[in-house]
Structure 1
Amino acid sequence: MPFTFIGTEVLGDDLRLNTLDRNVLNTLYNLIDLYLIASRSEGGPHALFEACASKCKIISSRVGASEDVLEPYAIFDTDHEAAELINLDHKQNVLAKSLDRNLQIVRDGYSVAAVSQFLPQFYSQVLEAHHSEEADLTGAEFSENLPLPASLRVVRRDQTKSHQAVAVPNGDRNEDLSDKIRNVEALFEANPNDIKLIKELVDHYEAAGRLNSALSAISLAVLTDDVNQQLQYRRSLLLGKLGRRTEALEIALELVKCQPSNSQFQRHLSNLLLHCERIDEALEAAGNAAILDPFNASNYFHFARLLFDSGKVAEAIVAAEQASRADPIDHRIYNLIAEAAEHHGDLEKAKRALAVAHKLAPRGTSYEARLKNLEATEVPSL
């Protein structure tokens, strides 16, 4: 495959030599057609946020924060899926519709301004924990004032000494996890029909990123208890994560057929149908999930986003407003209301929604600038 290497070719590590200036990086991101993250393991990566901030098309393997930032259809599990995605975008420009959304998510949740507001509180909690012999350092009690980013938590390094607290990123306790897996595997060998042990083993495998092992374990659990729909649901989730979406979809369809009033199953089915580009069916399942659990803001937000992306703007506004009633403090919901209202020509509603989003959102978002632009827009007279 032809390629162009930007930098100086050297033997060995070129990190110090070929680290480019951010202005140069920005230029390169704006020159390329698409950025591909094909890593097996990543922390962020930086490229994910840089590409989104540059409004560069991007697809990624399931690493780092990619699933938190990108739309599901921009995630791939195999090189074949990546090639199909690139080919589809080349023909239909499908990745273009998420460029503004990706930029907004990076600004709202991953910019210096957005993250920095959490750090003083986070480190003050670490210091408080350091002096507290009684503190429970699992992280739950530290989220009363501001929710901490999911990538940060306070954990106890030595379970016998509560004052030895240390801030670590999630997933850095691989050694402890390996020990847990070995212990549960040993118990499972002695009790191969224990469903609880199998579930625990699946949890540990999944946390360790051993999805194939998790799938094998959950498949064994299904054989042991084939009427347990939650096990089938978990198996479908794992198949989806492994890119085996046809099998995952078959299970999801059967689950919804057996239990159509389960909003969790309907939402899962909607996600799989969306991956398979069966948009109308995905919309129907998303609508069912929302109606079945009207107090679940996430379901209504998902439904509203699908409606908006499908061009059903008026319906999207209704669904998003229902989501706002279920969760009145999620700025993303009001942002969606504003987007949809603006597309629908209701600038006053868009302004009101954007004003609420700006009030609720962390600093560093673009809501204020967008609100000023809207306020400067003249409403056409009748």
Structure 2
Amino acid sequence: MTVASAFLGGASGRLLPASVPLRFFGSAVAYHVLGWLVLAVAPGDWLAFRGGLGWPLAALHLFTLGVLGMTALGAAAQLLPVATRQSPVGARALAWIWGLYTPGVALLALGMGLALPALLALGGVAVAAALATWATLAAKHLRGARGMPGVCAHAWSALASLFVLLASALLLAAGWLGWDVPGRQLTLPLHLLFAPFGFMGLLALGLSYLLVPMFALSRPPRESTQLASCACIVAALLLAGAAVFGVLPDLLHALAWTLGATGVLLHLHLMRRALATGMRKELGRSFVLVKLAWGALLATLVLGGVLWAGLALPHAEPAFGLALLAWLLTFVLGILQRILPFLAALHAAAGKRRGPTASMLTHDKALHVHLRCHLAAIAVLALAIVLDAGWLARAGAVIGLAGAVAFSVFHLHLLRKLRAAGV
């Protein structure tokens, strides 16, 4: 049985109210625009940013918490019931989480941009409370899981990483407030490790085992290989976390990178097989983005190895940051433009003989513009890093902003169609 047939077979009992995931996805679209807008208009040369508060840090968190985090919360809330073969729970709690998380991200980013630690801390507490509540709901699903052990293993590992992320983030915020907390030389590396690779990375990899076969109409990837990939990545995170505290010799540093690389390569092997064996071969521009995101993941892996080895490669650190953001952001945008019409069509068809199809809910021209602008923005930013040209970086942000606006046009078109269908 394919993942798609399993999902559709239990759709009536597993769908959250349409307003719940659409709230999260709509906020992600809005924060996508805001992230590029901040990079485009913020004063100063953000290529020269090397830490501390400021608008570059605010833009980064608009992308990570605003786009990636918001999408992860909405997607996992709907998809974990599928993975665990349970009815969804907590629709009211999810609405409360969205109501706390959305302004929390805005306050956090504003506090960072204006260098106001009190405002940053207020937003950070709201975000942490929302994420902790969401994690409780996710854990409730996972405890009763009756299927997809690979997806569940990634989700459990992502939840564990989330609490490391939250602890390190709150300690960093407390440090900016002037409190006596452990040094940034420990908390900042842990945050930079467990936020993108632990929480968001593992969740993206785990949900891929559900989403990619569902859209490609293929069988689920081999569970044993999913679990092996997860085990390698978790072991790499643990070793890298221990290295932050200086308790590992250099040989184990290399082992951490090797395990992480092995886990990633196993994952990409399973994704390639899912696409190759799927009944649907033409997956459109959304999977152009997904495949390019996988390429950015490989680039992240290579550049991470260069940095870990201490090799003197010019511009390696900012290039690593760009590759990391390109991987997660490009993957999320590719999946989002696929899952939004899919879920919307399921809701629109509920109780009707014929409802709008996913293609009818999609604004194809807007997504075409977005694809071109998003790829051009990443390319221009990469060139700006190589040339160390601040003006070129700003031009890349303007192009990214144009793509984000086009993506929001696609989203608004979908909402109008849903309203016309009576959803």
If the length of structure 1 is used for normalisation, what is the TM-score? 0.26
Find the structure with the greater CA-based Rg: 1
Larger strand share, 1 or 2: 1
If the length of structure 2 is used for normalisation, what is the TM-score? 0.24
Larger helix share, 1 or 2: 2
Structure with higher RCO (Cα < 8 A, 6+ apart)? 2
